[in-house]
Amino acid sequence: MDWQAPKPQKSVRRHPIILLAAITGLTTLALVACNTQPPPPPQPRTSGPSPLISQLAPAPGIPGQPENGRSLFVSKGCPACHTLQGVPAAVGAIGPNLTNISLRPTLAGEAIQNSPTNLTRWIVNPTTVKSDATMPALGLTEQEAQDVMAFLWSQPYNPVQFR
């Protein structure tokens, strides 16, 4: 049998119609992409239904009024420096995130044991608990501080629902 040159394989050849279709498709895609409107800016979470739970379950055996504490938390300016899940205004980043702080073993570092008493003292005046504390005293009375503590301590019993 004589040697024959191999026939060009059909699959290697590209049909001009397919090429044309591909180019047209890509051009259309590019045009569509250019005409697309930019997505609307994200809406702040606070514009939706308020995630605030109206009646807070108190932490068992903890003195103070959680709802009053929550109001004080906002009115005394804590949100300016602290983030706290469930309080939409509390997105501050100067101090630590206080979400579920009652579940942490220590306060403001590792030396101070976290307890309702120490947290209340901290809220009245941080330097009585830690001499070099960088958080200012905000003028809360003992009773007000106890209510804020009761609010912070109640947090794990009132899990925030995100929609």
Of residues 51, 63, 77, 156, which one binds ligand HEC by CB under 6 A?
77
At residue 81, φ and ψ (nearest 5 deg) are -115, -15
Amino acid code (one letter) for 4 = Q
CB 110 within 8 A of CB 104: no
> Helices 142-154 and 66-75: crossing angle, nearest 10°?
110
Of residues 20, 29, 80, 103, which one binds ligand HEC by CB under 6 A?
80
Does residue number 90 form part of the binding site for ligand HEC (CB under 6 A)?
Answer: no
Does residue number 129 form part of the binding site for ligand HEC (CB under 6 A)?
Answer: no
Does residue number 133 form part of the binding site for ligand HEC (CB under 6 A)?
Answer: yes
Does residue number 101 form part of the binding site for ligand HEC (CB under 6 A)?
Answer: yes
* Helices and strands, counts by H and E, the chain: 4, 2
- Binding residues (CB under 6 A) for ligand HEC: these are 73, 76-78, 80-82, 94-96, 98, 101, 107-109, 119, 122-123, 130, 133-136, 138, 140, 148
